[in-house]
Chain A
Amino acid sequence: MRPITALTVSEGRLFLRDGLSVSMGLLFPSLLLVVLGSALPGFREADPDMGGLRPIDVYVPIVVAMALANIAITTLPTHLATHRERGVLRRMATTPAGPGPLLGAQLIVNVIAMLVSVGIAITLGVTVLGVPLPESVFAFAGVLLLATLAMFAIGLLLSAVTPTAKAASGAGMLVYFPMLFFAGVWTPGPTMPETVRRIAEFTPLGAASQALSDAWSGASVAPLSLAVMAGYAIAISLLAARLFRWS
């Protein structure tokens, strides 16, 4: 096996052995969706304020954005910071493989985990809660890809500037909750106040959430959302690459 393959298998196994990564990274978004959809009374009834959609229909793309944030902001930086703190990256640097493939393996594992988490949420939404499939699957996939680039860049920046795993998860929480707020986790769809929406358009997860919702409902995706995500993806990646330390 090539180093990157062996490392991806190994990192994947470690991800699955970590209870917090599995619960937060893989299961929590789906759990939230199912609980809201089945426990809250009004969530499965058409709402005239939402153009006849049910709140749960509006909520699925928001949960997808949350699934992305859980991986990019909580599991990825914590795993990378732990590896650095414990000297795993340094030990890798003594081998012919170097530390690079470990970073690559982490990215692969976390992207797979994110896709699995999103996949579970959408499957449950469609099968259990009767949410219609995205109007435009390609637009949705394209937006998800761009959102992934932006959010993973932020995750990498977090792991670049935090010296320890504790600091990484602390800093992660500081950006995680505001991001969820702007993504509309507490104020889905039309219930978000207009001022908040204006601000949210310029935050990475807010832009992602709005673009994912547009793609899901078949509306044309706002160019601003795409530009905001692309801007974060490029600027933050460059910054993270500059600041990342291997040891």
Chain B
Amino acid sequence: MSVIELRNLTKRYGDTVAVRDVSLTVEAGEIFGIIGPNGAGKTTTVEMAAGLRRPDGGTVRVLGLDPRTDGRDLRREVGMQLQEAALPDKIRVGEAMRLYASFYPRPADWRELLDVLGLGEKQNTAFAKLSGGQKQRLSIALALIGNPRVAFLDELTTGLDPAARRETWDLIESVRNRGVTVVLVSHFMEEVDRLCDRIAIIEGGRVLAVDSPAGLIGAATAEQRIRFVPETPLPAGFLSDEPGVTVDASGRAVVVTGAGDLLFTVVSALASAGIRPRELRMDQTTLDDAFLTLTGRALDEN
């Protein structure tokens, strides 16, 4: 079942087109990633999906509701963690949770939620006294306080140290395990690779590709490459009868390129020739490579 359906969404700010003709479908129970460089239109897209911004064109359906006409009903079912939305400095964690719980018809147990998020001890701590990671976790807690069916998490781990980032990732998985559909906006490739069932790559306000991480990598990879140093010289015509495989044995290290199950092909040919490979290395295509192939630039170049 589709939980979110975006059709031909367009949004302009003055002369700048922030989002052009974006169509996406998010299925129930998945963690859906939206990735792209800064200014790609990721946040605008999610804010339109959540009903915070009105699209100039196109339609939004979340849980079958149209944010334009059913905004209030929609906000009861949707939790949103906004980029750079803080709380007053002097509000205490428990007070904020109780306050936000009062906005929803059937809120979650806020004490339990704080415990799950590792903030159980911080109930009486003022917002300003929390660390960056704790503030983010409180922000997630507030996004989940209404027992939402869909959670939008925007740039959740930006500004967190690597340890806090990993903790947050575990947390997002546990949110999904509660049955919440998660839309995750990010510009960390590692993050979406690790968490997401499917990813949309957005650049310049357009969707360039939507697929699973493996699918994106696979589509971007025509060839794999294996390097090794043979202990004894290779026999003449090594792998020459394999279609689509080329062998470059001109240097100290041999480089084999090809598609398909290349590692198995190379290793079995070496085994039958009785040659041990040393320094064997396979160049693994990453999601970064896939992004580079699709957009023509690296994600961290912005």
Contact = CB atoms under 8 A, between A and B. Distances in A.
Contacts of B98: 6
Contact of B52 (A2, A14, A82, A93): A93
A243 to B, nearest CB: 19
B143 to A, nearest CB: 8
B88 A86 contact: yes
A96 B146 contact: yes
Given A14-B91, A87-B85, A88-B88, A94 B102 contact: no
Counting chain B CB atoms within 10 Å of each CB, which of A7, A17, A82, A91 scores highest? A91
Contacts of A3: 102-103
Interface string A171-214: 00000000000000000000000000000000000000000000
Interface stretch (B74-82, B164-172, B185-193, B224-232): B74-82
Nearest to B80: A94
Contact of B85 (A10, A90, A98): A90
A35 interface: no
B86 A88 contact: yes
Interface string B94-110: 01001110111100000
Given A87-B85, A96-B75, A14 B103 contact: no
Contact of A87 (B84, B102, B104): B84
A127 interface: no
Nearest to A247: B52
* Chain B contact patch, size range: 20 to 34
A2 B100 CA distance: 11
B90 A18 contact: yes
Interface string B60-96: 0000000000001001101110101111101100010
Contact of B88 (A1, A6, A82, A96): A82
B217 interface: no
A13 interface: yes
Given A91-B82, A96-B146, A2 B76 contact: no
B106 to A, nearest CB: 11
A82 B142 CA distance: 20
B50 interface: yes
B238 to A, nearest CB: 62
Contact of A14 (B80, B88, B100, B102): B88
Interface in A69-88: 82-83, 86-88
Contacts of A222: none
A97 interface: yes
Interface in A110-149: none
Given A14-B90, A14-B91, A96-B76, A91 B102 contact: no
A91 B143 CA distance: 9
Nearest to B87: A88
Contacts of A90: 52, 82, 85
A186 B76 CA distance: 54
A14 B128 CA distance: 13
Contacts of B84: 87
Given A6-B98, A10-B91, A18-B90, A95 B85 contact: no
Nearest to B52: A93
A91 B76 contact: no
Given A86-B86, A88-B86, A94 B75 contact: yes
Nearest to A97: B103
Given A14-B88, A87-B86, A88-B87, A7 B52 contact: no
A10 B84 CA distance: 21
Interface of A: 1-3, 6-7, 10, 13-14, 17-18, 82-83, 86-88, 90-91, 93-98
Given A83-B88, A91-B85, 9 more contacts: A10-B91, A86-B88, A87-B86, A88-B85, A88-B87, A88-B88, A91-B142, A96-B104, A98-B75
29 contacts: A2-B102, A3-B102, A6-B98, A6-B102, A6-B103, A7-B99, A10-B95, A18-B90, A82-B88, A83-B88, A86-B86, A86-B87, A86-B88, A87-B84, A88-B86, A91-B82, A91-B87, A93-B52, A94-B50, A94-B79, A94-B82, A95-B75, A95-B146, A96-B72, A96-B75, A96-B104, A96-B105, A96-B146, A98-B75
**What are the 7 A-B residue pairs with the smallest beta carbon separation, nearest first?**
A87-B85, A6-B102, A94-B80, A97-B103, A86-B86, A95-B103, A91-B85
